[in-house]
Amino acid sequence: MFRHLLVITGLCACAAEVPEPDASSIAQPASFAFQREHVVDDIYHYELVLPVGSDPNAAIRVHRIVREVSPWVPRRTPHATMMLHGDFATFETNFAPTLGQPASPAPGLAPYLAAHGVDVWGVDRRWTLPAPEDDVSDFATMGVAQEVDDLRAALAVARAVRLAGGSGAGKLALVGFSHGGQLAYIYAASEAARPAPLRHVDAVVPLDFFGAYGPEHAAEQAEVCARSELGYQYVADGFIDSDNSFQILVGELARTAPDDVSPIDPTLTNRGVMLQLVGETYRFVPITPTYRLLAPILDGETAIGLVETTEATSNAWLEGSPFHQAFLETVDFDAMLCGNNAPVDAPLSRITVPLLYLGAELGVGALGLHSTTEVSSSDVTALVVPGFGHADLLFAAKAEALAWEPLTAWLLTR
């Protein structure tokens, strides 16, 4: 796929040595080696695998999608964002799905933002990189505290490269989808305890997720507390990899043999299983009583089609899932919502940077509004898109008008 290699000199390639930059300390001797591919028009995708330690999977993948003025020369812009993917996903499958494997027909939020003057960065967490047969013994340490450190390294890389390219040393907006949105809250709250010159983020945008339960959801919070306690016991007992083989199989079968009887549920076709997973998601993951990954066409309570997103897009999203996923991350996310024995000290009240919450009515939706009242920022905006499921924010035909345009306008005026 990638036909070119770029080495940007004058910067540090080792995450352990990337400084917490201010305008005078970003650049360091060494180099970053990026691969590059065309996306559309004058928009290009750069990709770098960044070592972050010595464990078997101690690496993250850093992405950049940006307009170019000439080959290898990104356009300068003061507006930049770092995007964080959700579960069973990568930066590409969530935000640039035409680049995924398999490729999706959905155009993607990242190229849209780039086309409108935003320098888009993204990071794939450690668990997205290993192949099915790789050593996953270090998944036992892939929790939220480690991810905060990895994200800090990725943000330092982005700021260093932007400074070297003439776009300045400005901070980035942190945009996270789903659990990536929760990670955005956690990172911003954690970073707020650091001295101002060592901070990388100047705005936070959670896409359809939340960072705290309100008092009216005490029962749900208690369930999360119990689940996290049990989850930590599972980790101690050696369960560390909650792989995504189920989602991959569902997407592949729905694409290749949609009308065949499903080997997963013989009462349904392969297409029917896919529609149940994305259109009746509350049956499996009851974040809300009507939680749906994608807004369904219903016959009674049964999903028989999709309203906003094409089935081909849904299939590609599922089939393109990374094979592995660290179970400890999921347990840590629950513990953060529980509030007891949280793995990272990150109260939402520390967040003072501008915040935009963009929710989906049939996803997390209104549940995410309470978190916006817990921050200390004086600049808070919330928008819940009616009729959208969780990932319709990323994939729906109407997403550009209902979600991407207001997001872009907010980013460009902050």
**What pLDDT does residue 25 have?**
32
pLDDT of residue 32: 72
Structural domains of the chain, with CATH: 4-218+325-413 (3.40.50.1820), 245-319 (no CATH)
pLDDT in tens, the chain (414 residues): 333 333 333 333 333 333 443 333 333 324 578 999 999 999 999 999 999 999 999 999 999 999 999 999 999 999 999 999 999 999 999 999 999 999 999 999 999 999 999 999 999 999 999 999 999 999 999 999 999 999 999 999 999 999 999 999 999 999 999 999 999 999 999 999 999 999 999 999 999 999 999 999 999 999 999 999 999 999 999 999 999 999 999 999 999 999 999 999 999 999 999 999 999 999 999 999 999 999 999 999 999 999 999 999 999 999 999 999 999 999 999 999 998 789 999 999 999 999 999 999 999 999 999 999 999 999 999 999 999 999 999 999 999 999 999 999 999 998
The closest alpha carbon to 226, from 335, 342, 341, belongs to: 335
The three-state secondary structure class of 308 is coil
- Helix or strand (DSSP H, E) at 333: helix 327-338
- Give the integer Cα–Cα distance in Å for 157 and 163: 10
Crossing angle of helices 179-191 and 327-338, rounded to 10°: 60
Q: How far apart are CA 155 and CA 161, in angstroms?
A: 10
Nearest-CA neighbor of 250 among 268, 229, 232?
Answer: 268
Q: Is the peptide bond before 386 cis (omega within 30 degrees of 0)?
A: no
- CB within 8 A of 402, min separation 6: which ones? 385, 388, 396
143 is written with which tokens? 């929790």
Place of tokens 């080696």: 33
Spell out the alpha helix ranges (H) of 176-244.
Answer: 179-191, 218-236
How far is it, in rounded angstroms, from Cα 115 to Cα 42? 8
Question: Percent helix, strand, coil in the chain (nearest 5)?
Answer: 40, 20, 40
Eight-class DSSP state of 75: P
Q: List the structure tokens of 247.
A: 């989602």
Q: 115: which 2 tokens?
A: 């086309």
Kindly tell me the sign of the dihedral angle through the C-alpha atoms of 149, 154, 159, 163. Answer: positive
How high is the pLDDT of residue 339? 82
pLDDT for position 31: 57
What's the confidence (pLDDT) of residue 272? 98
pLDDT digits (tens, 9 = 90+) for 75-112: 999 999 999 999 999 999 999 999 999 999 999 999 99
> Is the sign of the CA dihedral 384, 387, 393, 396 positive or negative?
negative
Q: Which residues contact 368 (CB under 8 A, 6 or more apart)?
A: 181, 206, 208, 209, 210, 357, 359, 382, 384
Instruction: Determine how many CB atoms are found less than 10 A away from the CB of residue 76.
Output: 14
- At residue 341, the pLDDT reads 80
The identity of residue 403, as a single letter, is A
Q: Residue 51, Cβ neighbours under 10 Å: how many?
A: 13
